[in-house]
Amino acid sequence: MSYPTVLEVVPGSPADVAGLLVGDELVSINGVTPSDVIEYQQLVDDDDPELVVRRSGSDLGVVVAKDAAHPLGLRLNASIFDRVQTCDNHCEFCFIYQLPPGMRKSLYLKDDDYRLSFLYGNFTTLTRFTELDVARVVEEKLGPLYVSIHATDPVVRTRMLRNPRGATSLRWLRGLLDQGVVVHGQVVLCPGINDGAVLDRTCAEILVRYPRLATVGIVPLGLSRYNAEANLVVHTAAGARRDLEVVHAWQERALATWGRRVFFASDELYLVAGLPIPPTEAYEAYSQHENGIGMVRAFYDELDRLEGGSRHPVPVVTGEWRSIPAAPALGYRAPRHLSDDPAAPAGPAVVLTARYGVAALHPVLPRIEALSGRTVRLLEVPNEFFAGNVGVAGLMVGDDVRRAIAADIGPAAVYLLPDVALQGDRFLDDVALADIAAAAPAPVRAVPATVAGLLEGLAA
């Protein structure tokens, strides 16, 4: 058990008044050592909680004067305090197996922890789920959860997970749904393995066996140049169109049967297939927006609203970490700490993005120029780091961005890049945004991947 460390004390909060400091380690609350930030939140919701903190090697008792349910005023450095439940599957399509050596150690951690599913929207296979886990999820109403299904055929699922428990672990999904837990599912579509007839069966059995599933996201396999599985292949345009036909057919059946579409294909499948992005109503509540499903349509909707003079609500970021003040913002949600966010001087602006970002932005570029009042140019950043079929902005790395800027010969007053490519101040390859900015011929700004974020970045 490692104790969480205080990263921030909100000025004027009960924790601040009680004398808690950044760097304090939280040992216990009311005599209980919490195992995660969820349990922490439940304990500190009491009035006048009694804390034991470790400071400079010594344990100190602190009583924090506060009313029940009033925020304590701490932010911690971790969400899981005991041990993250790691994944014991060996999925042939797992992208972690396709990472190059030498990256940050944390990037190689395969988690299968339902708590991270609840907090951050991570997908879990349920192969390490237990009766105690079910009891806690139900008792504490830890939902929504996000579950990787991939296939309902037990033989296919076992083969894909390379784990014999893959054949039986979906019983936990049925149990959670029967207890009223909201669950979103996912199918990573691997051509020749779980597409076609297998996908058709999966959709059919989901409607029969798991009708309470909130949504099922259908996303394509991602392959990097480090893939060592010879039987894995990427989607062709024709293959993507065939799989979309299956998804659309089951959408209609689900809509007729349950009054909702249930199945939603990723934007990437539409872009690979060369088909139009579906209309707004096809995405219902955008519940899997962060899974790359409906991002393009939500962007277009926001653009329509801004052109009409009103703001469009952006889909909510996945995960309940937002409702727990002490939970840290992880991954691309992590705050950046650059001391100077340079203004965007007048002149042509260059938007750096990946292949699919270019495809999505190109049709609406004149409209963005009209709203911003300046010339905008798209600059594709080829993903040489991962290569393969990787073309999403979230997997852009620093060296590729630096290379693209260095090779750019067009006019540029400012370079804008989507903040989803960053984890805090750094890219996945551990290159700092500040190093990119220092070498660029014009200011470099990271902006939210929304129309409003882009327009703010374009503002001179």
Structural domains of the chain, ranges and CATH numbers in brackets:
6-76 (2.30.42.10), 95-323 (3.20.20), 339-458 (3.40.50)
Per-residue pLDDT of the chain (460 residues; tens, 9 = 90+): 689 999 999 999 999 999 999 999 999 999 999 999 999 999 999 999 999 999 999 999 999 999 998 999 999 999 999 989 999 999 989 999 999 888 888 888 889 999 999 999 999 999 999 999 999 999 999 999 999 999 999 999 999 999 999 999 999 999 999 999 999 999 999 999 999 999 999 999 999 999 999 999 999 999 999 999 999 999 999 999 999 999 999 999 999 999 999 999 999 999 999 999 999 999 999 999 999 999 999 999 999 999 988 876 778 778 889 889 999 988 777 777 654 555 667 889 999 999 999 999 999 999 999 999 999 999 999 999 999 999 999 999 999 999 999 999 999 999 999 999 999 899 999 999 999 999 999 999 999 999 999 999 998 6
Global pTM reads 0.93
CA distance 84 to 98: 21
